[in-house]
Amino acid sequence: MRVVALVPGGIGDQILFFPTLDNLKRHYPNAQIDVVVEPRSKAAYQVSKSVHEVLNFDFQDRNSLADWGNLVGSIRDREYDVAIAVKQNWLVGLLLWLTGIPIRIGYQGKGSGFLTHAVPFKPSQYAAVLYHDLLQPLEINSPVPELAVNVPKPNIEWAQKEQKRLGVNETGYILINGSSGQLSKSKELDKIYPVESWQQIIHGFQDKQPDLPVLVVKGTDDEQFVRSLLESSPDIKVTAPDDIGKLTAIIAGANLLLSTDNEALQLSVAVQTYTIALFGPTDPVKLLPKNDKFLAIESPTGKTADISPNAVLEKIWGG
């Protein structure tokens, strides 16, 4: 069986879709599973164990009819047996109908008239459960697996060397991922947490736990963010994993991850690292499983910036 899944969204969305892919592969071990994702999200599949090929298509771009036609042709040429559409979109439904794929699965709503199977759309659920509902037409009704990733061995070895370089391989460490460099779109600005608040959290943590090192993840757009933290707390340590496998491995070694709503959050869930997540406009019920290891702090205003540093520190010490 050949399956293609169309999965718009960022890296976090892809990680949340992994349990669906993994369970599909578990029930159909000989299936070839491909995904169509936006270029920004292709990297997620470095840590997937179930996907054969990753195809690129920028669903958010102003695509011409020729762009959509090329995607239809590319999918049609691969002669898939099953297609799964993760987003409600009439254009995607039409696209799948044009490919001639015999089994076309998606949610009830926009474009579902072009599908052969439409499942109820229940957006209030944890996203991994919401996505897993799409397997019902394939008679897969088993419980949703936990998020899981497959970290390549070289990435694990890199993380071990990085911990030794930073002098934290014996002590353990608390990891901060407050990256805001790529949150430039207006709808994402409410996810940014101010550097001044991070500074207060670091100071408060070090006052109470001076022997546990604080590591900060430095992404490609985080130069100013990290520089500001170092000016305030020169004894923090900085790590700059340059791919998602390395980021996953460094998260896996942490005692605790403090993170805003970004891809590191889902990677942390997948490797079962204790996590405290800061949420602004997003409902944490949709992004975190029910598990005492993963704690959410919700902004009282819908803006992450309005979470007080004291609230974060209380959550750290109180669990």
**pLDDT given for residue 73 in this prediction:** 94
pLDDT in tens, 74-94: 999 999 999 999 988 888 899
Predicted confidence band of residue 180 (pLDDT cuts 50, 70, 90): low
What pLDDT is stored for residue 80 in this prediction?
97
Q: Which residue spans within the chain are E strands per DSSP?
A: 2-6, 32-37, 53-56, 82-85, 103-107, 117-119, 174-177, 214-217, 237-239, 256-260, 275-279, 294-298
Report the 3 state secondary structure along 194-245: CHHHHHHHHHHHHHHCCCCCEEEECCCCCHHHHHHHHHHCCCCEEECCCCHH
Mean pLDDT taken over the chain: 93
Positive or negative torsion for Cα 27, 116, 148, 244: positive
pTM for the complete prediction? 0.92
Q: How many CB atoms lie within 10 A of CB 243?
A: 14
Query: Which pLDDT score, from 0 to 100, does residue 133 have?
Result: 97
Q: For the chain, how many residues are written? A: 319
Q: How far is CA 129 from CA 105, 136, 151, 171, in A?
A: 16, 12, 23, 36
Confidence (pLDDT) at 182:
54
Q: Measuring CA to CA, how many Å separate 13 from each of 159, 213, 286?
A: 24, 31, 11
> Long-range contacts: 111-120, Cβ < 8 Å, 24+?
111/85, 112/88, 114/90, 115/85
How do residues 247-298 score in pLDDT, each as one tens digit?
Answer: 999 999 999 999 999 899 999 999 999 999 999 999 999 999 999 999 999 9
- Sequence-ordered strand ranges (E) for 31-189: 32-37, 53-56, 82-85, 103-107, 117-119, 174-177
Percent of the chain with pLDDT over 70: 97
Q: 3-class DSSP state for residue 261? A: coil
- What lies within 8 Å, CB to CB, of 260 at 6+ separation is 177, 178, 179, 180, 191, 192, 193, 277, 278, 280, 304
- Give me the percent of the chain exceeding a pLDDT of 90: 85
Does residue 185 register a pLDDT over 80? no
- Residue 60 — very low, low, confident or very high, per pLDDT cuts 50/70/90? confident
> What DSSP designation does 146 have?
P
* pLDDT number for residue 181: 54
pLDDT at residue 62, as a whole number: 86
pLDDT number for residue 89: 84
For 98-140, write each residue's pLDDT tens digit. 999 999 999 999 878 999 999 999 999 999 999 999 999 999 9
Domains of the chain listed by start with CATH number? 2-138 (3.40.50.2000), 153-318 (3.40.50.2000)
Q: What is the pLDDT of residue 21?
A: 97
Query: Residue 66 pLDDT > 80, yes or no?
Result: yes
Which pLDDT belongs to residue 319? Answer: 58
